[in-house]
Structure 1
Amino acid sequence: MLAFQTEQLRTLLAVLEHGTFDAAASALHVTASAVSQRIKAMEQAAGQVLLQRSTPITATAAGTVVHRLARQLRQLEADAAAELGLAGAAQGTLAVVVNADSLATWFMDALALVPRDGSLACEIVREDEHHSVALLRSGEVMAAVTAMAVPVQGCTVVPLGAMEYRAVASAGFMARWFPRGFSAEIFAATPTVQFDRHDTLQNNFFSAVTNTELRGVQHFIPDTIQFAAAVKQGLGWGLMPETHCGDGLRSGDLVELVPGRITRIPLFWQRWKIQSAALDLLTNAVTNAATKALAQSNTTTPRRMSA
C-alpha cells in the first residue's frame, strides 16, 4: 500500500507553490538537500517521477495526483484544527477558480455570505468557464465555477443556473454600421470586442447569425468592466451580461443587434469530494447566491452528481 509521510506531502506542496527546491527549503526552514531527499523518497515509493525539474518546477501526470492528495490533506488538517479550536493553527485557504463574468456580477455576493470570523480564507483564480476544470484535475484549486456538467474525477457537481447575455453595441456604432437596420451581410464587416482568445461567446453568436466564421477586426479586452466600456464607447459589438447592459438598453445608449435573442451559458459548481466544513460553507454560499442571481430552469434545479 502506498503511504506518503505528512512531511513529504507538505514538501511537495512547498516545491510546487514556490517553484524551486531552494525556495521550498527556505519556506519549510530545512535544507535544500532535505527537500530533495523527501521528493526522491516519494518518487521511489510511487515508482514514478512526480516532478519535472524545470524552472519553475511542475508536476508530472503522476505528480498531479499526489499534488491533489497533498492539497486535500492540508485542507482536512485545517478543518480539524478549526473544529478543535487550536490557537495558532494554520488557516486553510480555499483555492477556487471562477470565470470573469461571474466574478464581476454575482460571485462576490457568495463570498459575502461566508462567515467573517477569520476562519476561512479564499484565493480566487480567474479562468474561462470552459477551461476551469483543468485546474481541478491538477489539484491547483478545490472548487470551480464551470460550464462543465460532467464531474471531474473525485469531485461533485451542482447546477447553479445560467448566465444570460445579449449581443449589444453603442447607439453610435449601430447608426454608423447599420444605418438601414441590422443585416447579416453588413455584420460580417463590423469590429468585434472579445474578452480574450479563450472567449467563444462572440464567435458562437456570429456563426449562429451568419453561418460563417468570425474573421473581421477584433479587439481583445481581458477585463469584464473594461470590456463593457469598450462596447459602450463604440469599439465594436459584444455580448454582455444582463446586469451590465440593462441600463444602457433602457436608456438607448446600447442597442441589441438581434432584439430578444438571449445567449444562456449554464454554470455548475464542482468541488472536491471530501468531508470539509470549509468547503461545505463555501458551497452553500455559492449555491444560495447563484439561485438569486442566475436564470433558473427545470434543467438547472440544484442536484448533486459525483465522480
Structure 2
Amino acid sequence: MNQLEALKQFTTVVADSGDIESVRKYRPEDATTNPSLILNAACLESYQHLIKDAIDYAKKQGGNKKTKIINASDKVAINLGIEILKNIPGRVSTEVDARFSFDRGMCVTKAEKLVRLYEEHGIDRSRILIKLASTWEGIKAAEELEKNDIHCNMTLLFSFAQARACAEAGVFLISPFVGRIYDWYNNRKLLLEPYVADEDPGIKSVHRIYHYYKKHRYNTIIMGASFRKVEQILALSGCDRLTISPHLLEQLQSRSEPIERNLKPSTEGFYQPAPLSEAAFRWEHNQDPMAVEKLSEGIRQFAVDQQKLEHMLMSSL
C-alpha cells in the first residue's frame, strides 16, 4: 500500500486542481478550484472548448461588455466544475469572485447564481461547495446560504478567530491554509532547522482547530489545504479532509513507508461557547499579524487572477 492509499484510510482526500487528468489519475473523493487554478486551466489547449462554450453563452445572454465578461467568467468556472464532477463521486468547490469578499450581499447573490448555473446543467446543489473568503462578511454570507441548502467552503483561513466564527455560523467546511502559514514564518526565519512537522505553525493551527471543533462537537468539516511538502500532509493524517495538489499526490503515491493517524476526535465533555460578536472577531483576528497579512494578500492575488481570466475572455466578446 502506498502512502496515498494509506492516507485515504484515515482522511478523505480531495484534489486541489483544475486539471481533469490529475483528478482522473488520483481518484479523489472531491475536488477544489479557485481563480488561480481556473486561470491555469483556461490557458491549456485541451480546455479551449470549455472557454468557447462560455463565450457563446455570454453572447447569447446579451448585455453590455462588462455583463458579458462576468457571465463568461462565471460559465468558465461552471464548465470546469461540471467536467471535474464527471470524474469524482463527491463535490466540487467553486469560488465566488474575491472582489466581493467584504460585501455580504454580493457574496450571497453570486453564490446563488453559480448554484443556479450548475442546476441548469442538471447538477444537484448537494454536489457543489461555494468557496468564500473567511472575512466576517464572507462568514455571515455563508451562514445565510447554508440555511438555503447552499453549502460553503470557507477559504483563506489563517486565524483561530476565523475558524471559530465559521463553526458558530454553521458552515459546511473550512480550509485552513497550512502552507501559506508556513511560508509566512519561513520567510521570516522563524522556523526550526532542520524542519520539524510538529513545530510547523500551519500544522499546529490545524491541530488546535481540529481539537476545538471535536471537543465542542461542531459539525463543520476541517479540510487542511495549501501544502508545501508531504511531511505537512502526513502530520495531519486523520483530519476530516485534506486537499492536495497533483505533484504532492504523486509523491504520496510513490512512497510506501507506513503512516499513522495523527488526529483523533476528542472524547471530552460537550458544550459550545457563546458566539463571537463582530467586534470580538475583528479584534481577535487582528491580534494575529500573520493572519491579517495572509488573508489580505490571498484576496488580492485571487482578484488579480480573476481579472487576468476576464482580460483573456474580453478579446472574444
Query: How does the TM-score come out when normalised to structure 1?
Result: 0.24
Q: Of Structure 1 and Structure 2, which has the larger fraction of its residues in helix?
A: 2
* Rg (Cα) greater in structure: 1
Structure with more strand by fraction = 1
